[in-house]
Amino acid sequence: MNWNTITEIEQLQAIKEESYSYPVLILKHSTTCSISGTALNRLERNWNQEKVGELKPYYLDLLRYRPISAEIATFFKVEHQSPQVLVIQNGECVYDASHFDISFAELQGVVA
């Protein structure tokens, strides 16, 4: 799995623009939370790019970039959770899940 990292707030506008061409996944991950670690591990272990087509994955270390995490919630109109995945399509969040609800099978169904 090839994560693209989010390190600048300005990337959110670029991600929104990308989402008009293909779906984008954002994973907000807490590096000190065991639930977040488990969700990340399950996602990476089950990832199969062929099954999600052009879905492009982005990773945010929300402890290191807390202001970006808060801006994601505002920018895409979702309640902040940690860990959390968002699927962005056509400039809007069309799916979000948090904690143990994060699953590759669910993501596959969203972008199919």
65 DSSP 8-state letter: T
Residue 66: what pLDDT?
Answer: 94
Confidence label for 1 from pLDDT (cuts 50, 70 and 90)? confident
Residue with token string 């402890």: 63
Question: CA-CA distance, 36 to 98, in Å (whole number)?
Answer: 9
| pLDDT at residue 63 in the model | 93
Handedness of CA 54, 34, 106, 8 (dihedral sign): negative
Tell if the pTM clears 0.85, that is, is over it: yes
Domain residue ranges of the chain, discontinuous segments joined by +: 4-111
Q: For residue 64, what pLDDT is reported?
A: 95
**Region 14-27 average pLDDT:** 98
CATH class for the domain made up of 4-111: alpha beta
Q: Which residues of 1-40 are buried (b: 16+ CB within 10 A; e: fewer)?
A: eeeeebeeeebbeebbebbeeebbbbbbbbeebeebeebb
Neighbours of 74 (CB within 10 A): 10
Which among 2, 5, 104, 111 is positioned nearest to 58, based on CA atoms?
5
pLDDT, residue 112, reads 80
pLDDT tens per residue across span 42-101: 999 999 999 999 999 999 999 999 999 999 999 999 999 999 999 999 999 999 999 999
